[in-house]
Chains A and B, each alone.
Chain A
Amino acid sequence: MGTGAFYSADVLEPGADWRLLVTDRFLGAFGPSTSVSTMSTLWRIAADDALGLDALVGAIPSRGVAAVDSFAIAALGRVATFVVRGGGCADVSVGGRVRRVDARGSEPWYVAELTGVERFQLGPLQRSPGDLTRQARDLPIDGGVVFGPWLGWSSEAAAAPRSAPTPVQQPAQPPLSSFDPHDTNVLGDLGRRAASLRRHRGEPPATAPTPETESATAFRLGDRAPERVDAPVYVGRQPRSPRVTGGVLPRLVRVDSPSREVSATHIELRPTREGLVLTDLESTNGTVVRQPGTGVRRLESGESLPVVPGTLIDIGDGNVIEILAYR
């Protein structure tokens, strides 16, 4: 599965000197005056899973010599948030209708939150969005920073399974020079992108995962739909979160527990780069875990355990959580 992002590498299109940034969570288009060092800072923040949209936007200089007078940023999620400034805008398709989100002089920027977003394009105001669909000549991008006249995204492209790699073309323009060329990938797969992120973070390369050791990235509660875990999840009868700093908010999942076997906040599922870690939050009645191949065990109060796909977690009153490898 890709990020769903794509862009035009046509150097003759007006606005081809905009800087386009793509990570799992954020897409951004920044005007030509944005310096390489600003882009470097923004990339570092955008690639840090512990930092949220407010940290990213807060780091964009809005005054002084380094001021970024025009940009458009999208934060992906159930509610997509668009932040635009100056000559940057977002053309967004919701329910088949395209609307333009622009700043119209709002200082320092304008914010729009939209649900049910199907497609969008980020870029300069002087641009007609068309129908926002991906054309054959547009290039997909899974992560990094490139030059281009606009940056697109579509939910179809994000959901589409990745088949055999498309032939790699050289980018029409060289990547920004201060970046690791591997970070500025054009058609790389997720593994390559993850590897480039690890290099960026100064970590050793990971061994390629085999299907048997696929890491846990999602859960399913009873017969509800599976959900990917990209922020800490708290499950309980009446859950609450501990203190959170950095702007990435936890998900709270409430379950029914007529006999009150489930504690108010019973367990935490925390995403790590290696997979999910389950913690019993000193629940009253404990947590029973069945790991594939190792039988059933009971977590001690407050105990943590890395969990693999196929694990079943019983927190009481018939509430069972299954751990999955989300693709």
Chain B
Amino acid sequence: MTEIGSSSGPRRIALPAGAGAVVLSWGTATDVGHRRQVNEDSYIAVPPIFAVADGMGGHAAGDLASDAVVTRLRGAAKDGFVTPAAIGLALAQASHDITRLDGTALTGAGTTVTGVALTMSDDDPYFAVFNVGDSRVYRWFDGEFEQVTVDHSVVQELVDAGAITRSQAETHPDSNVITRAVGFNEPPMPDYWMLPIEPGVRMLACSDGLTKEIGEDRIQALVAAGSPPEATAQALVQEALAAGGRDNVTVVIVDVVDVETAR
């Protein structure tokens, strides 16, 4: 696993034009879990990018794949903000790096990646949420907890087609089969969402070691409890371990403490 950045209390990030700033605090937590030998998750928590990657592949190749993604994402950050185009190019670069990994020719290697990046549109700051695979981003704001990303997975396609319900999806035998990834010799196809940055917004990025272990109601309860980001991230990981800890589990939480704008 590769960890880039670490938890931080409120930090002021000036907008590129010099007009105003965004104040964020964030926290991270990760654990190998009770069953796996290696933690193949990686994360980055350095403004402007907060992301989680869940690597897949034999002989630690998954570890290298998730490492490639967070390393390339770190390279995409400039001036405290990032364009979605730069995120897409960083993922394409990581895909190239992953195909060059040794010992992956037969099975291939790849990784999910999902996260939140500070970006600008029309001189206003926004979160660009990006996703490839079945790691997830959630948003908590004003009493509402929502899953922002849509899994690229076989069961999500079954849910979309109306073949199974969301609760059936949780226990479906194919629940670990994903339909998009970074790597596996395919150009990545990220989805994006642009979301407003408002004081009080809390964003959560996590690997499926969290969401397959504990239900959304428990995730929401811990996210809404009001603890600081790092304590909340650790509480979520501990709960996933207590529920079985069958997979690596990684959580990154970002709080919008304040937004200072000229307008």
Q: Given A57-B89, A57-B92, A254-B122, do A238 and B193 touch, yes or no (CB 8 Å)?
A: no
User: Are A113 and B86 touching (Cβ within 8 A)?
Assistant: yes
Instruction: Mark contacts of B72-94 with chain A using CB atoms, 8 A cut-off: 1 yes-contact digit, 0 otherwise.
Output: 00001010000111101101110
Distance in angstroms from B17 CB to nearest chain A CB is: 11
Q: Are A252 and B83 in contact (CB under 8 A)?
A: no
CA distance A250 to B121 in the complex (A): 9
Chain B CB within 8 A of A55 CB: yes
Please determine whether A54 and B96 come into contact, CB atoms closer than 8 angstroms.
Answer: no
Indicate if A14 sits at the interface (CB-CB under 8 A): no
A113 and B150 CA atoms in complex are apart in Å by 29
Contacts of B88 in A (CB 8 A): 52-55, 247
- Do A252 and B126 touch (CB < 8 A)? yes
Instruction: Give every chain B residue within 8 A of A57 (Cβ-Cβ).
Output: 89, 92
> B194-209 toward A: CB 8 Å interface, digit per residue (1/0)?
1110100000000000
Q: Is A83 an interface residue (CB 8 A)?
A: yes
Complex Cα distance A264/B144, Å?
Answer: 15
**Contact between B187 and A58, CB atoms less than 8 A apart:** yes
Contacts of A249 in B (CB 8 A): 84-85, 121, 128, 192, 194
Neighbour of A107 across the interface among B96, B128, B190, CB < 8 A: B96
A247 with B85: CB separation less than 8 A: yes
Number of cross-chain contacts by CB at 8 Å: 98
Q: Is A169 an interface residue (CB 8 A)?
A: no
In the complex, whether A125 has a CB less than 8 A from a CB of chain B is no
Interface residues of B in 175-232 (CB under 8 A from A): 187-196, 198
Assembled-state Cα–Cα distance A113/B189 (Å): 21
Q: Can you list 7 pairs linking A and B with CB atoms under 8 Å apart?
A: A52-B88, A58-B92, A239-B194, A243-B150, A243-B192, A249-B121, A251-B122
Take A59-B187, A108-B93, A240-B193 as given contacts and tell me if A53 and B121 are in contact as well, using a CB distance cutoff of 8 Å.
no
- B124 interfacial by beta-carbon distance below 8 Å: yes
B263 touches A239 (CB 8 A): no
B95 within 8 A of A: yes
Residues of A in contact, count (CB < 8 Å)? 37
| Binary per-residue interface labels of chain B (132-152) against chain A in the complex, 1 for a CB within 8 Å, 0 otherwise | 000000000000000000100
CB contact between A238 and one of B76, B83, B198 (< 8 Å): that residue: B198
- Assuming the contacts A108-B93, A113-B78, asked whether A52 and B191 have C-beta atoms less than 8 A apart, the reply is no
Give the residues in chain B near A256, CB-CB below 8 Å.
263
Contact of B193 among A59, A109, A243 (CB under 8 A): A243
A241 lies within 8 A of chain B by Cβ: yes
Report chain A residues within 8 Å CB of B124: 252, 254
Q: Whole-angstrom distance from the CB of A250 to the nearest CB of chain B?
A: 6
Task: Choose among B89, B97, B198 the residue that contacts A111 (Cβ–Cβ < 8 A).
Answer: B89
Mostly helix, strand, loop or mixed at chain B's interface? mixed
Asked if A12 is at the interface of the complex by the 8 Å CB criterion, the answer is no
Interface centre among B78, B83, B97, B150 (most CB of A within 10 A): B83
On whether A54 and B89 interact (CB within 8 A), knowing A238-B198, A252-B124, A253-B122, the answer reads: yes
Residues of B near any A CB (own CB < 8 A): 76, 78, 83-86, 88-89, 91-93, 95-97, 99-100, 121-122, 124, 126, 128, 150, 187-196, 198, 263
- With the chains together, A81 CA to B82 CA distance in Å? 12
The answer for the CA separation of A63 and B84 in the assembled complex, in Å, is 26
Q: Which residues of A contact B122 (CB under 8 A)?
A: 251-254
The one of A52, A59, A240, A264 in contact with B194, judged by C-beta atoms closer than 8 angstroms, is A240
Asked whether any CB of chain B lies closer than 8 Å to the CB of A79, the reply is yes
CA distance A242 to B149 in the complex (A): 10
Give the residues in chain A near B193, CB-CB below 8 Å. 240-244
Q: Measured between C-beta atoms, what is the minimum distance from A116 to chain B in Å? A: 13
CB pair B191 A244 closer than 8 Å: yes
Would you call A213 an interface residue if the criterion is a C-beta within 8 Å of the partner chain's C-beta atoms? no
Cα–Cα distance between A264 and B126 once the two chains are bound (Å):
14
Besides the known contacts A75-B85, A113-B78, 9 further A-B residue pairs in the complex with CB atoms under 8 A apart: A54-B92, A54-B190, A57-B92, A107-B96, A108-B96, A108-B97, A113-B86, A239-B196, A251-B121
Q: How far is the CB of B170 from chain A (nearest CB, A)?
A: 22
Q: Chain A's nearest CB lies how many Å from the CB of B263?
A: 7
Q: Using Cβ atoms and an 8 Å threshold, which residues of chain B touch A241?
A: 192-195
B93 touches A109 (CB 8 A): yes
Q: Say yes or no: is A62 at the interface (Cβ < 8 Å to chain B).
A: yes
Q: Considering only CB atoms, which chain B residue lies closest to A112 in the complex?
A: B78
A6 to B85, CA, bound (A): 25
Bound-complex Cα distance A81 to B78 (A): 13
Residues from chain B with Cβ under 8 Å of A250 in the complex: 194
Contact of A170 with B by CB under 8 A: no
When the two chains form the complex, which single residue of B83, B191, B195 contacts A245, counting CB atoms closer than 8 Å?
B191
B126 nearest in chain A by CB position:
A252
Cα distance A249–B128 when bound, in Å? 10
Contact A252-B89, Cβ < 8 Å, known A238-B196, A244-B192: no
The 8 closest A-B pairs by CB, nearest first: A54-B88, A58-B187, A241-B194, A108-B96, A58-B92, A252-B121, A238-B196, A249-B84
Contact indicator A54/B91 (Cβ below 8 Å)? yes
Enumerate chain A residues within 8 angstroms of B83, measured Cβ to Cβ. Answer: 79, 81, 113
With CB as the reference atom, state the residue of chain A lying closest to B195.
A240
Question: Contacts of B100 on A, CB cut-off 8 Å?
Answer: 63
Contact partner, B86, options A59, A111, A243, A253, Cβ 8 Å: A111
CB atoms of B191 and A63 under 8 A apart: no
Q: How far is the CA of A107 from the CA of B187 in the complex (A)?
A: 16
